[in-house]
Structure 1
């Protein structure tokens, strides 16, 4: 479960992240990321549309994605805003497939952001997971 301070809730935050953030798409997810103030807690938002499936399926996909992003919050406790959009094929994907797609997308987006403005948050050394 994500802490309240780490949940993206307003449509303005979603819009800003999706429109001005770096993006990377994989088979199951599309990830958008922007760097924010190093004093702000990192925030994560999810977009799981009806095209993914019925309510039960969408909630399953969201629960899986929430579990996956916990690692991101541990590595980047401050300075990052991320929106994860689940694609329709994510309904049939295994947990392992979602993890692989998320990690690859996150790696690609974070390196792209670092190249763009050089101020992307660095992982907390004590909590970094290799």
Structure 2
């Protein structure tokens, strides 16, 4: 992911937490903040030490980034997304992470393709 697509500063994270909407499933929590003035979305990741050691946390972050990278054309622009990984995410492979994130994408209506197309791709 390019630097302009990342959320790194604590104040940006806090703005999304405070003003954004959230949705969750067993593995992830997603916070979404509208930023209509922006042309692209930004992504912030948070994986607690409770989830696992550094290797596990970095693996989860890599998998999440990969899903967003592959689906960036189909994800709503002009928003900030913060993904928080929960403990069950530590035991997931790429396909499980993708499926779980897609579940959240559809619950929050940020995925631009129809559900029928997604089923055919998987």
Report the TM range for the smaller structure's normalisation: 0.7 to 0.9
Specify every segment of 5 or more residues in structure 1 that has no aligned partner in the other structure, as ranges.
112-121
Specify every segment of 5 or more residues in structure 2 that has no aligned partner in the other structure, as ranges.
none
Distance 1:77 1:110 in 2: 9
SS of 2:7's partner is coil
Contact 2:38/2:79 (8 A) holds in 1:
no
Deviation at 1:40, TM superposition (A): 4.1
Contact 2:25/2:104 (8 A) holds in 1:
yes
What TM-score does the superposition give when structure 2 sets the normalisation length?
0.82
Distance 1:10 1:19, change over 3 A: same
Judging by fraction of residues, say which structure has more helix. 1
- Aligned pair count reads 115
Contact 2:16/2:80 (8 A) holds in 1:
yes
State the match for 1:96 in structure 2. 95
State the match for 2:12 in structure 1. 13
What TM-score does the superposition give when structure 1 sets the normalisation length?
0.77
